[in-house]
């Protein structure tokens, strides 16, 4: 989504990610992925995760469920896509279509201020993301062939292809900045 951010702001959206990670972990993610939108920290889950009913009651770590929620300028929720897990996400096109249907004026959004990056203990280095997504795609394909669920594995493969394209584009952006 980072590379398509301009399409979201042109459609009238202010984009932010919200989860339980620390501001320092968010700063590391923003730096690693060159994200043009903020990641907001809700470690006690009271600011957004619980009020928007995004608590994952099955997770012993009390993490949020993976979801995409659109809220219009009046504060009304106009779209909610709840994913089954972290690997089940909507493509940006579906979200953009809904945003465009709202006919909102374009917005501007400041690039997030750099914090003090401190990756989490399991953070994957940027240079390894493309290989990771490629491996995830082919692993899902193998499971799909074993279980005769090619529709699901192909959808996940399409998502991994999109992520790999984004990583290549982000690599070029980072290279050109240095």
Please check the confidence at residue 112 and state whether its pLDDT lies above 70.
no
In the three-class reduction of DSSP (H, G, I as helix; E, B as strand; rest coil), residue 150 is classed as: helix
SS3 for 20? coil
pLDDT of residue 121: 82
Q: Token pair 């917005």 is at which residue?
A: 107
Structure confidence at residue 50 (pLDDT): 92
- Give me the architecture of the 1-123 domain, per CATH: 3-Layer(aba) Sandwich (3.40)
- The predicted model gives 168-172 an average pLDDT of 86
**Cα angle 68, 154, 58; round to 5:** 45
Residue ranges per structural domain of the chain: 1-123, 124-178
Tokens 């493309």 correspond to 130
pTM over 0.75: no
Q: What is the rounded distance in angstroms from the CA atom of residue 28 to the CA atom of residue 21? A: 11
Q: What pLDDT does 37 receive? A: 78
How far lies 84's CA from each of 42, 52, 90, 113, 135, in Å? 21, 17, 11, 32, 21
**What would the pLDDT profile of 12-41 be if each residue is shown by its tens digit?**
777 788 888 888 998 888 888 877 778 889
Contact 170, 177 (CB under 8 A): no
Distance between terminal CA atoms of the chain?
23
Q: At what angle do helices 150-177 and 129-147 cross, to 10 degrees?
A: 170
Residue 164, both tokens: 């790999």
Q: What are phi and psi of 103, to 5 degrees?
A: 55, 50
Return the pLDDT at 5. Answer: 61
Q: How far apart are CA 102 and CA 113, in angstroms?
A: 29
Q: 22 — phi, psi (to 5°)?
A: -75, 160
């Amino acid at each position: 989504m980072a590379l398509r951010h301009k399409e979201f702001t042109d459609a009238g959206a202010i984009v932010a990610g919200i989860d339980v990670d620390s501001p320092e972990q968010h700063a590391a993610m923003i730096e690693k992925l060159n994200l043009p939108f903020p990641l907001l920290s809700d470690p006690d889950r009271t600011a957004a995760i619980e009020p928007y009913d995004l608590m994952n009651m099955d997770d012993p770590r009390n993490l949020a469920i993976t979801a995409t929620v659109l809220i219009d300028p009046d504060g009304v929720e106009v779209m909610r896509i709840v994913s089954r897990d972290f690997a089940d996400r909507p493509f940006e096109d579906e979200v953009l279509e809904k945003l465009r249907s709202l006919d909102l004026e374009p917005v501007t959004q400041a690039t997030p201020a750099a914090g003090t990056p401190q990756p989490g203990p399991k953070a994957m280095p940027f240079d390894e993301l493309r290989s990771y997504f490629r491996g995830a795609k082919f692993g899902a394909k193998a499971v799909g062939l074993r279980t005769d669920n090619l529709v699901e594995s192909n959808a996940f493969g399409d998502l991994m292809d999109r992520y790999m394209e984004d990583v290549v584009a982000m690599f070029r952006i980072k290279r050109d900045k240095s």
